[in-house]
Structure 1
């Protein structure tokens, strides 16, 4: 009779142990890791121990816990999952402790058997974070923003290693790293936009982006060349040569390596006293055959582009953009306009003719240490879709700069970035800190959203192009207001409503007042599909 009762008790406890280990396995599987370090295995075993302690407070000991295997596989429906085989053995007291049989143990070893749990990952997604990098908020707020971007990137990759994330940091335009090095070995930086120019705005932006453009329509060709040549010399003397540095360097090296003294010079001759260029960059030589051809054919248009850019505060303006052609050509890099930014003060039109563009790229700042051309590096830059954690972590090294915002310039530029993704789910997350409430930039963004249904055209265009392997395209808009300098409440609410009603939908628009709320909101958007467990 004792043997029978003890046997029934053992079967009941074995079933209870299997349930305890099963629930503990779910907790272990929630981490989604199939390559576990010794420390992580120890932690997982501690989790299992806590569950067994809860189910068996009367146990004598846990004699064995084993995570036999952890694996990552794909099922017959091509859906990936992480699997775990876990088992445990415990010792429990038997019911009858009288010595009815000599030598009988007073405890019983019970094993759970092998418990297999599969954690199905969420559908892998491509996430493009279109983030406002203006200095319209406190430094602490920007630090929080960077931390959130870093945390959500880690979160997305932990949830599914096949996810990919891109960062598009915008002000007006998006800064990018250009290939090669500058004259002294630092990083070359560029400003990037996407639009098809109207007639009269179809200039070679790559050529004109780092030249001094005389905007006096009465200037002769030689006067125009003289002004441009003087501007090139000033850049080489003050920035390449380092006369702005503390202490200043000797410009003899600059003159010997990059510059040549002209026998004849002046506005009538069309040359400055010295003409400078770097042979590594053909467009740097304004007297080459190609450069002379561009200057002769485009200088009037280039002056006009500069004047209109001053009026609109942006190259991405209503006069310049061919909206319909841009909608048709925004799904590749063919319509991307990227021009170099000289490493100088961002407000000097002699070196950066398109002022206020991509100010978040940064530039010369005498207040910063190691502020010479060999140390030049962008404050922020575009990161293409990747699942490389180290590359995404670089956001922590970025800085904010620039006080003008044009959200539509960032969103349109993000489209060819997303087009490089091959996951079926594609998610745009737009984070704004300073809305486009200032005219005339606001007119452009409003026109894109209302008249041209930009967001719907983006969604439809990506899905129509089979090479992207897309089944779903989602868009979310978040206004992040922590530490942001005063913005008229009326305009802020108005623009939030416009993005909700004419782009993302009311349910996909949100506001966040602090870091924790922003992090929670983004994770909520990412967790549209969180996966499931199966045994």
Structure 2
């Protein structure tokens, strides 16, 4: 066909006398052949370049729509159809359906970046017609095939992390500091969970002690507040802190009868006052009927008041095997505890008042604590009765965990809502959003918060563990001595990292600790650099953008990415 066209063209070049323009007639077939060959070659070159772009886009589309799985054999039918149509849109002149397949690699692990990755290689063939056809030009082929050049798209996805925020909830954070904490927490929680939905976040709010919420309610249905620390007391400070955490003690009371009488008196006072006057009011007769026991004999010399009150919702076995109310002060177990521990309990209460915490330097067995901080074994949690903030008759450890809240500030027992509370590792966005309603108060014990966060982290199963400590300055007197001892003498942060990595149940491959000062406290930051985090992992960040950008930088290798 092409030869006939050339012959016809030559015929038209004859001059009127029948002569032929010899030179042009000889060159023209060659010229036309070269032009046709060039057009065909250009078409093939353009198609090849276009195919390279298409293959790259296909690879990215597959990686974006595929999970990392070793069992992937190819894109699912719906995706296959979408990809095939996508190729057709770029090559509408194709003479038949494109041939398309994707080769999936095995999942690989990049431990350094805490990432998993898989490679996708598109295999594409499209058949297209030549613009000029002749058997001499195309070897008898009307069409040509263009294929994707070797190309691999790597999808790199962050493996999930366990992230524990250890946050300063002392009174000095009120106002701007609290707003900064809330904004930062929201931004970073969204960032982490969007990076990998299997990541989990926890929040440990500390003052002097960590505020915790009991699973059960208080006696009238509102929140039941607790204060939690983690330490192993030395023998002379070893008491049942849970028992004594809501009991009245006084060094003036020397006899067993006097001790139990006044303990019973103030317990009765709580029920007959706070329970009764919570809204809606409960008649005192109902309080006595449902929450108290009537004593036939009573008085200071007999060791009890007329109505001994206690939480009647929880029963337990006593030392003699009898079923009793666990909160009753006059069970055999409780009386033995009072007999053995009362004087030590007075010393603990009084020393707490001057040290702002029960977890002071004289009381802590540091080595035992460092060994036992990787489980719940050494956690001490005691109730914070819903009374006045400084009501030592009902709150013997009144300097601790004031960020739990108290009567008069957050409602009565019915509407009692804690200021703040520990949130265990979770990826439940609704649960994490409750942080936005929290409030601050109390003293500061940063390292106490860090130690208490270790068993929280131990519950996580993701390969990278990240602690982010956020505080606005130094610790209160008492806790500061403890912090310095832990960090400088006992190398707490190294012990945390090595302990988590050594325990196979954590599935840990990497542990990082970061410290962020939300005020311009350079000395404090340097202390953390030198005694815990190392260079680059502690810094000052005093506004939202600085804090968020700083911590995102710490976590930047958690972001998934694509690369050729």
Of residues 447, 470, 474, the one that matches 2:485 is: 447
Q: Partners in 1 of 2:60 and 2:518 — Cα distance?
A: 33
Question: How far apart are 1:529 and its partner, in Å?
Answer: 4.9
Contact 1:197–1:321 (8 Å) recurs in 2: yes
For the pair shown, the structure with the greater C-alpha radius of gyration is 2
2:289 counterpart of 1:219: no
Question: How far apart are 1:300 and its partner, in Å?
Answer: 0.8
The TM-score normalised by the length of structure 2 is 0.75
Question: How far apart are 1:152 and its partner, in Å?
Answer: 1.3
2:461 counterpart of 1:422: yes
Contact 2:59–2:121 (8 Å) recurs in 1: no
Structure 1 pair 111–184 and aligned structure 2 pair: CA distance change class (3 A) = farther
Across the two proteins, how many residue pairs are aligned to each other?
483
Question: How far apart are 1:114 and its partner, in Å?
Answer: 13
Q: Partners in 2 of 1:413 and 1:126 — Cα distance?
A: 16
Structure 1 pair 5–455 and aligned structure 2 pair: CA distance change class (3 A) = same
Structure 1 SS opposite 2:374: coil
Contact 1:85–1:114 (8 Å) recurs in 2: yes
Structure 1 pair 82–95 and aligned structure 2 pair: CA distance change class (3 A) = same
The TM-score normalised by the length of structure 1 is 0.79
Question: How far apart are 1:312 and its partner, in Å?
Answer: 0.6
Question: How far apart are 1:400 and its partner, in Å?
Answer: 1.9
Aligned residue in 2 for 1:91: none
2:362 counterpart of 1:319: yes
Structure 1 pair 522–252 and aligned structure 2 pair: CA distance change class (3 A) = same
Q: How does 1:274-293 map to 2 (within 5 A)?
A: 274-281=307-314, 282-293=325-336
Contact 1:33–1:82 (8 Å) recurs in 2: no
> Could you list the runs of 5+ residues in structure 2 that have no partner in the other structure?
1-33, 69-77, 93-99, 125-129, 133-145, 315-324
Q: Partners in 2 of 1:112 and 1:347 — Cα distance?
A: 76
Contact 2:109–2:117 (8 Å) recurs in 1: no
2:396 counterpart of 1:396: no
Residues 513-535 of structure 1: CA deviation (Å, up to 9, x unaligned): 10111111111111245454345
2:338 counterpart of 1:295: yes
Aligned residue in 1 for 2:543: 514
Q: Partners in 2 of 1:449 and 1:362 — Cα distance?
A: 30
Question: How far apart are 1:2 and its partner, in Å?
Answer: 6.5
Contact 1:233–1:275 (8 Å) recurs in 2: yes
Aligned residue in 1 for 2:531: 502
Question: How far apart are 1:324 and its partner, in Å?
Answer: 0.9
Contact 1:70–1:84 (8 Å) recurs in 2: yes
Structure 1 pair 4–72 and aligned structure 2 pair: CA distance change class (3 A) = closer
Of residues 171, 184, 195, the one that matches 2:220 is: 184
Contact 2:163–2:201 (8 Å) recurs in 1: yes
Q: Partners in 1 of 2:191 and 2:406 — Cα distance?
A: 33
Q: How does 1:2-401 map to 2 (within 5 A)?
A: 4=37, 7-18=40-51, 20=53, 75=107, 80-81=116-117, 117-212=153-248, 214-241=249-276, 243=277, 249-281=282-314, 282-366=325-409, 368=410, 371-397=411-437, 399-401=438-440
Q: Partners in 1 of 2:67 and 2:278 — Cα distance?
A: 55
Structure 1 pair 269–515 and aligned structure 2 pair: CA distance change class (3 A) = same
Contact 1:128–1:166 (8 Å) recurs in 2: yes
Structure 1 pair 340–69 and aligned structure 2 pair: CA distance change class (3 A) = farther
Structure 1 SS opposite 2:388: coil
Aligned residue in 1 for 2:322: none
Structure 1 pair 223–153 and aligned structure 2 pair: CA distance change class (3 A) = same
Structure 1 pair 74–146 and aligned structure 2 pair: CA distance change class (3 A) = farther
> Could you list the runs of 5+ residues in structure 1 that have no partner in the other structure?
36-40, 50-55, 61-67, 89-93, 97-109, 482-488
Range with bigger deviation, 229-238 or 137-146? 137-146
Question: How far apart are 1:206 and its partner, in Å?
Answer: 1.1
Of residues 449, 453, 474, the one that matches 1:435 is: 474
Structure 1 pair 169–138 and aligned structure 2 pair: CA distance change class (3 A) = closer
Question: How far apart are 1:30 and its partner, in Å?
Answer: 9.8
Structure 1 pair 30–253 and aligned structure 2 pair: CA distance change class (3 A) = farther
Contact 2:108–2:117 (8 Å) recurs in 1: no
Residues 297-321 of structure 1: CA deviation (Å, up to 9, x unaligned): 1111111100111111111100110
Q: Partners in 1 of 2:230 and 2:239 — Cα distance?
A: 14
Question: How far apart are 1:374 and its partner, in Å?
Answer: 2.9
Structure 2 SS opposite 1:290: helix
Range with bigger deviation, 450-459 or 121-130? 121-130
Q: Partners in 2 of 1:12 and 1:350 — Cα distance?
A: 89
Q: Partners in 2 of 1:83 and 1:181 — Cα distance?
A: 52
Structure 1 pair 144–306 and aligned structure 2 pair: CA distance change class (3 A) = same
Aligned residue in 1 for 2:449: 410
